[in-house]
Amino acid sequence: MHHEMSLRPGPFAKIANGTKRYELRLHDEKRRRISVGDTITFTCTDGRRRVHTRVISLHPFDSFSALYAALPMTECGYAPGAVADPHDMEAYYPPEKQAQYGVLAIRVERIRVPIDRLSGTYGVRMLTEWDVPDMLRLALGNPLYYRHMGIVPDAQNIAETLTALPPRMALADKYFFGWFDGERLVALMDLIQQYPDENKAFIGWFMVDADKQGCGLGRKLVADVTDMLREAGFHEVRLGRVEGNPQSEAFWHACGFEENGLSYDTDGYRVIVMQKGIK
């Protein structure tokens, strides 16, 4: 689920530069809808800036006094050495509201890949387990892809892709999103940021609805993603294609990707690594 919040310029700047890692709010009905893994876009009250974050953890407390005693104040927005007084929060949340709802510290991490920039003809959002039936429909419409992998797609192995990660990476680095025509999923991508190193991104899976293939849509969506990554400061995009799949090989070459000489074996098939410089 995605959420929107506003911040004054000072706290906004600290969220944007990573020094403020906890956003402090009432634990009211709106905040109770937040879950770990959700995304939050903070908009600066000056109206000109936005920063995209993901929720890493949630910390409810009975009061800001309890919260201030438990969490590092420098990560809540206070300068090192500053006196952190929980009564400061009464300027925003009266004591009676704190007593009514309790309070919440939302630990966030800035998202480097702003997938909202991809919205255009199609809506774009992160995929969840609720999207597995639609993801499976796309997979079943692309039998050649799975024939070369020696895998029969089903709900279980599709669901497992939602949390699959390369070595040493975390779910916070993973962006599994889809393009939608109304309510219909028309394409999906599994994208890992800062892999295999800081200035690279890795496409783990990309698939287009069979009914939308052959019209250049796949190449356009890949081009949109590489443009987004370039603007976000990435220098290179990599991916792995299954050896022996001529359709996949031709598509990625048409998108400007070339083999970089690396390959590896996994689950009965060989993966050829391709890359594209986007600096």
* pLDDT tens by residue, 238-272: 999 999 999 999 999 999 999 999 999 987 899 99
Rounded alpha-carbon distances, angstroms, from residue 268 to 22, 93, 150, 243: 44, 58, 7, 11
Of the pLDDT bands very low, low, confident and very high (cuts 50, 70, 90), residue 199 is: confident
* 99 has pLDDT over 80: yes
What percent of the chain is modeled with pLDDT above 90? 75
Two tokens, residue 6: 């506003």
Q: Which helix (H) or strand (E) holds 146?
A: helix 143-149
**Mean pLDDT on 26-54:** 86
* 276 has pLDDT over 90: yes
pLDDT, residue 46, reads: 82
DSSP three-state, residue 47: coil
Two tokens, residue 192: 């890992």
| Residue type present at position 170 | A
* 48 has pLDDT over 70: no
* 18 has pLDDT over 70: yes
pLDDT, residue 206, reads: 98
Beta carbons within 8 Å of 110's beta carbon, 6+ residues apart: 15, 16, 18, 51, 52, 53
Rounded-to-integer distance, Cα 250 and Cα 256, Å: 10
Would the pTM of this model clear 0.75, i.e. be above it? no
* 2-110: CATH number: 2.30.130.30
Q: Where are the domains of the chain?
A: 2-110, 115-277
Contacts 24+ apart (CB under 8 A), 119-123: 120/224, 122/179, 122/180, 122/181, 122/186, 122/187, 123/179, 123/180, 123/181
* 112 has pLDDT over 80: no
Nearest to 127 by CA among 191, 170, 55, 43: 191
**Mean pLDDT on 121-150:** 94
Of the pLDDT bands very low, low, confident and very high (cuts 50, 70, 90), residue 113 is: confident
Of the pLDDT bands very low, low, confident and very high (cuts 50, 70, 90), residue 72 is: very high
* 115-277: CATH number: 3.40.630.30
**Mean pLDDT on 172-179:** 90
DSSP E strand boundaries for 66-197: 103-110, 123-126, 174-181, 184-193
Q: Tell me if domain 2-110 and domain 115-277 are identical in fold.
A: no
